[in-house]
Amino acid sequence: MRLILGSASPRRRDLLAQIGVIPDEVRPADIDETPGKDELPRRYAERLAAEKGAALAAHDPDALILTADTVVAAGRRILDKPADEDEARACLALLSGRRHRVITAVGLRLGGKTWARRVETQVRFKRLSDAEIAGYIASGEWRGKAGGYAIQGLGAAFVPAINGSYTNVVGLPLAETAALLDGAGWRRDMASAAA
């Protein structure tokens, strides 16, 4: 059984390798990721993960296809990947001193059969000073990150507490993803992961 990872994220590849999952192919899905009018964060993440799987399955119906979508949500508001420094600054200012949610929908598809999980993690940011925000913007680490930060990097200094899966905040909840793969009959290479 071939495993295709439907993601361009190097973080997801690295996370999967930690649990002995090495995809046979990495192929991002080309879908429209624009949120629907009044679409809520949970539904948005679930829809995108499902649409990515369907798009890839159309080209390779015999492969096991793993897709995911991670959303940072402040209340009902979806915080996407900032397009520029001003958007990144606005994200950090919004998250400063408050809690937010990181929601990842994980989808697995084999032929006409699908499996799905949704994982939510509560993240608390400390109150950020203007200097901290400016320094983080200057670092460039915010680029390509939902919500404008990376908990696995310099952004860790902003997070005094989380409630839930840390790997979910990085980009893929590993325990839940491993359970989906196990349920679908995929055998992980635990020996290679431990080496």
| C-beta separation of 188 from 19 below 8 A | yes
Nearest C-alpha neighbor of 177 from the set 106, 110, 122: 106
Known active-site residue 60 = no
Positive or negative, the CA dihedral 78, 80, 84, 89 is positive
Q: For residues 43 and 158, what is the distance between their CA atoms, to the nearest angstrom?
A: 27
Burial of 164 by CB count in 10 Å (0-12 exposed, 13-18 middle, 19+ buried)?
middle
Catalytically annotated residue among 60, 69, 80, 130: 69
CA 87 – CA 69 distance, rounded (Å): 20
Q: How far apart are the C-alpha atoms of 107 and 46, rounded to whole Å?
A: 8
Residue 116 exposed, middle or buried by CB count within 10 Å (0-12, 13-18, 19+)? middle
Angle in degrees, CA 115, 53, 68, rounded to 5: 75
The catalytic residues are 69
